[in-house]
A and B are shown apart, each in its own frame.
Chain A
Amino acid sequence: MSETTAKVRKSLARRYRQEKRFQAYGILSIGVGLLALLILFTDIIGKGHSAFFEHYIQLEISLDPDVLGVDDASDDEQLNYANFGGVIKEALRERFPGVDDRQQQRQLYALVSSGASYNLRDELKADPSLLGGTRELWLLADDDVDLYLKTPERKRPDARLDDQQKQWIEDLEAAGETDKRFNASFFSHGDSREPELAGIGSAIVGSFFTMIVTLCLSFPIGVAAAIYLEEFAPRNKFTDFIEVNINNLAAVPSIIFGLLGLAIFINLFGLPRSVPLLGGLVLTLMTLPTIIITSRAAIKTVPPSVREGALALGASKMQVVLHHVLPLALPGMLTGSIIGMAQALGETAPLLLIGMVAFIVDIPGGPTDPATVLPVQIYLWADSPEQSFVAMTSAAIMVLLAFLITMNTLAVVLRKRLERRW
């Protein structure tokens, strides 16, 4: 064995050790990442899953025309002013007789959500013949009751209810007069001060309109800018300057874009505040650099041989771009745009500055109606004092994460699907 071989052997062992160590570091860091993800998901799902259900209380309600103050159930005007609260209170008093103290009565009435009277109104509106009769109806429970029913048995003594209320709830539960149902209103309602009535419906619609505006503006502008810079612009000081600035913009903290939107779109152009149109404009500014940079990278990967082939056949520059460069670069551009959009969907800071942090109860009907967006709704709820909002915050985060994961998966699938044709 020559000396060289001996040396090589000695160094080989060291090299393999190094390689093993390097691999171990890699596995370790992936493990840390996965662990963090696992903790995040367990925490959020553990806290949030209960918000997808809510409790109802069964009461025997007599729709007495005198108490309601309604003589014609088909008259909407009368229904709007009817005293459904009174009927519910009466039903509660009948269910738990012997509660005469005013203080105690108020505690009793608090078992049912203030939104229950709207449920009742809708029932009556749907079937006017109910007027005057007596019916067993399921009414939405108050958030504290809901929370109490969701708490496991052993933790119940700590609940923030007084003993009398606990007793009533336990009675109802024992009699099978409580029911856990899917919380559909969580997806359809707007924000509310009452947790059992609040939902992410308006935030989802607001996010949707904001994303539409952002997509419609940032994708065409970003792609056009990328194509111009990559294919047509001369290489000189000015384009270098533009390039440096685009790269810088991508790194600007997003809250700065919010300030910019406030100064320019609201103060200078007088756009209405807290509307998705404005949010979309601000997020467009924020997403543009990402889309331009990824699109340019995608254009750069189109082999020059394809360009040359087309040019040599007598295609004009524009034709080369439209017929060859764009179709080949499109998967990359789409991927970049979707990732940019996902970023924009999760963005909160700039929207706070342009007033999208407002308390919006109504579901926006278009991009010019006041609205809020999902991450801002999460921010608002995380700040709310009611205990039920803790679960709802996590539930909203789950919905937001679901959207983000869907978008990112879409980006991966699109890339896989379209790039094969190369």
Chain B
Amino acid sequence: MDTARELDNRNRADDDAAKPLIDVEERSMQDTPYPEKTVGKPFVDAPKMKLRHVNVFYADNQAIHDVSLDIGKNEVISLIGPSGCGKSTFLRSLNRMNDTIDICRVKGELHLDDQDLYDPKLDVVELRARVGMVFQKPNPFPKSIYDNVAYGPRLHGLADKKYDLDEIVENSLRKAGLWTEVKDRLHSPGTGLSGGQQQRLCIARTIAVSPEVVLMDEPCSALDPIATAKIEELIDELSESYTIAIVTHSMQQAARVSHRTAYFHLGRLIEVNDTETVFTKPEHELTEAYITGRFG
């Protein structure tokens, strides 16, 4: 009994010792005011996607507060920030994947070229063919590798003949850097590939419908470093033909692959700048605190 109480006391002592530390950090975060406007350069000339005053609500909870941002053509923009800051929510509202969540409402002006994304007349199927998405966990369909890649083109009737479809599949797999690895087993199940291969298969599947924008939601968080490196290389190559927005938890990854970086904090867009600027001379205190690892 005595020992138990002793242990208990010791634990409490530990707690007390730990408290001030946490407090300091919390205070530092709470005391830093949000900027009135997003710091840095959120807007570019001739943007591919023009997003103004975006607010996203989950029932009565506001997840995104008045975010305005441009995504330039053929640029890779990475969205970083601590967990729960709304970067994934923001990304998912760019191809209306949030529509699948009943309680989710998106407000603001979101444009892809001149098309209003939330125009009631817009067919969401058409939008998703133009704005593809790659998810955190590789999610190949439980079908063959070929059918995985051919699914999108078949859905939208992009290929009239078997020959055309074969070509689309081969090209997509080549672009995703997977062709040489799988060309001999196109008809074996996609779920039999390794995690990294599966993710590249998902990327191939996404680019098979030739989208204009590719959204990536932490595409490497479930992968090992080698697979991650391959995907990062791939993102670099893909940026020649596609506009890419990538959510990532790894700041190194953001630094390596993206041209611009946007820092989200508790549903607000704090700072957007060229990646180099963000990581070397962050303008806002919160950004600096995050990239130097003071919280995350």
Residues of A at under 8 Å CB distance from B? 3-4, 7, 234-235, 303, 305-316, 319, 323-324, 327-328, 421-422
Stretch binding the partner chain, chosen from B35-43, B44-52, B74-82, B132-140: B132-140
User: In the complex, A349→B162 CA distance in Å?
Assistant: 57
CB pair B142 A305 closer than 8 Å: no
Q: In the complex, which residues of chain B have a beta carbon less than 8 angstroms from the beta carbon of A314?
A: 125-129, 152, 155-156, 209
- Residues from chain B with Cβ under 8 Å of A324 in the complex: 141
Chain A binder among B95-103, B265-273, B276-284: B95-103
Contact A422 B142 (CB under 8 A): yes
**Do B152 and A313 touch (CB < 8 A)?**
yes
What are the residues of chain B within 8 A of A234 when measuring CB–CB?
A: 102
Q: Choose one: B3, B141, B205; the contact of A306 (CB below 8 Å).
A: B141
Docked pose: A324 CA to B155 CA in angstroms: 13
B243 at the interface (CB under 8 A from A): no
**B139 in contact with A303 (CB, 8 Å):** yes
Question: How far apart are B151's CB and chain A's nearest CB, in angstroms?
Answer: 6
Is B275 among interface residues, defined by CB-CB distance under 8 A?
no
0/1 string, B205-222, CB within 8 A of A gives 1? 110010000000000000
Residue among B125, B127, B209 with most chain A CB within 10 A? B125
Q: Which residue of the partner chain A has the closest CB to B137?
A: A305
A16 to chain B, nearest CB (A): 22
Contact yes or no, B133 A312, CB < 8 A: yes
Across the interface, do B142 and A309 meet the contact criterion of CB distance under 8 Å? Answer: no
Contact with A along B170-206 (1 / 0, CB 8 A): 0000000000000000000101000000000010011
Interface centre among B129, B139, B206 (most CB of A within 10 A): B139
Q: Identify 12 residue pairs between A and B in the complex whose beta-carbon atoms are under 8 Å apart, listed by A's number.
A: A4-B7, A305-B139, A308-B100, A309-B135, A309-B141, A311-B128, A313-B206, A314-B129, A314-B155, A323-B151, A421-B142, A422-B142
- Is A313 a contact partner of B128 (Cβ separation < 8 A)? yes
Give 17 A-B pairs besides A315-B155, A422-B142 with Cβ atoms closer than 8 angstroms. A3-B3, A234-B102, A235-B102, A305-B137, A305-B139, A306-B142, A309-B141, A310-B141, A310-B151, A311-B97, A312-B95, A312-B128, A313-B129, A313-B155, A314-B129, A315-B151, A327-B142
Within 8 A of A (CB), among B1-38: 3, 7
Find chain B residues with CB under 8 A from A316 CB: 125
Chain A residues closer than 8 Å to B95, beta-carbon distance: 312
- Give the distance to chain B from A19, nearest Cβ to Cβ, in Å: 24
Please tell me which one of the listed residues A235, A307, A313 contacts residue B151 in the complex, with CB atoms under 8 A apart. Answer: A313
Given A313-B132, A422-B191, A306 contacting B156 (CB threshold 8 A): no
A328 to B189, CA, bound (A): 14
Contacts of B139 in A (CB 8 A): 303, 305-306, 308-309
Grouping DSSP codes into helix (H, G, I), strand (E, B) and loop, the A interface class, with mixed when no group exceeds half, is helix
Q: Which 3 A-B pairs have the closest CB atoms?
A: A305-B139, A312-B133, A314-B128
Sort chain B's interface into a size bin. 20 to 34
Q: Look across to chain B and name the residue whose beta carbon is closest to the beta carbon of A236.
A: B102
**Complex formed: what's the CA distance from A241 to B29 in Å?**
46
Taken together as a complex, chains A and B put the C-alpha atoms of A112 and B156 apart, in Å, by: 77
Across the interface, do B102 and A312 meet the contact criterion of CB distance under 8 Å?
no
Distance from A85 Cβ to chain B, minimum over Cβ atoms (Å): 69
B209 surroundings in chain A (CB, below 8 A): 313-314
CB-CB under 8 A from A323, the residues of chain B are: 151
Query: Which residues of chain B are within 8 angstroms of A421 by Cβ–Cβ distance?
Result: 142, 189
Q: A359 vs B189: C-alpha distance in the bound complex, in angstroms?
A: 56
Contact across chains for B135 and A305 when beta carbons are under 8 A apart: yes
Minimum CB–CB distance from A395 to chain B (whole Å) comes to 46
Interface centre among A303, A309, A323, A421 (most CB of B within 10 A): A309
Judging by beta carbons under 8 Å apart, are B135 and A312 in contact?
yes
Q: How far is the CA of A49 from the CA of B206 in the complex (A)?
A: 64
**Could you say which residues of chain B place their CB within 8 Å of the CB of A306?**
139, 141-142
CB neighbours of B132 from chain A (8 A): 312-313
In the assembly, what is the distance between CA of A314 and CA of B205, in Å? 12
* C-alpha spacing A200/B265, complex, angstroms: 75
Shortest CB-to-CB span from A310 to chain B, Å, is 7
Set of chain A residues within 8 Å of B137, measured between Cβ atoms: 305
Complex CA distance for A314 and B125, rounded to whole angstroms: 4
- Across-interface contacts of B141 in A (CB, < 8 A): 306, 309-310, 324
A309, B202: Cβ atoms under 8 Å?
Answer: yes
* CB of A68, distance to nearest CB on chain B (Å): 72
Least CB distance from A324 to B in Å reads 6
- The CA of A383 and the CA of B97, in the complex, are separated in Å by 64
User: What is the bound-complex CA distance between A403 and B51, given in angstroms?
Assistant: 64
Given contacts A319-B155, A421-B189, A422-B142, contact A311 B3 (CB under 8 A): no
Residues of A within 8 A of B202 (CB): 309
Contact status A7-B133, CB under 8 Å: no
Give residues of chain B (89-135) contacting chain A, Cβ–Cβ below 8 Å.
95, 97, 100, 102, 125-129, 132-133, 135
* Chain A residue at smallest Cβ distance from B2: A3
Residues in A whose Cβ lies below 8 Å from that of B128: 311-314
Q: Chain A's nearest CB lies how many Å from the CB of B167?
A: 18
A139 CA / B141 CA spacing, docked (Å): 66
By a CB distance below 8 angstroms, the chain A residues around B102 are 234-235
Residues of B within 8 Å of A303, CB to CB, are 139
Kindly supply a per-residue 1/0 record for chain B positions 144-156, scoring 1 wherever the CB is within 8 Å of any chain A CB and 0 otherwise: 0000000110011
Chain B nearest CB, measured from A410 CB (Å): 23
User: In this complex, what residue of B is CB-closest to A313?
Assistant: B152
Given known contacts A234-B102, A421-B189, is B206 in contact with A312 (CB within 8 Å)? yes
Select from chain B the residue with minimum beta-carbon distance to A327: B142
List A contacts of B97 (CB < 8 A): 308, 311-312
Q: Whole-angstrom distance from the CB of A307 to the nearest CB of chain B?
A: 8
Please name the residue on chain A nearest to B103 by beta carbon: A235
The residue in B126, B129, B155 that gathers the most chain A C-beta atoms within 10 A of its C-beta is B155
- Contact residues in B for A327 (Cβ distance below 8 Å): 142
B51 CB, nearest partner CB in chain A, Å: 19
Which residues of B sit under 8 angstroms from A308, Cβ to Cβ? 97, 100, 133, 135, 139
| Residues in chain A near residue B206, CB distance under 8 A | 312-313
- By CB atoms of chain B within 10 A, which of A3, A305, A327, A422 has the most? A305
Bound Cα distance from A328 to B139, whole angstroms: 14
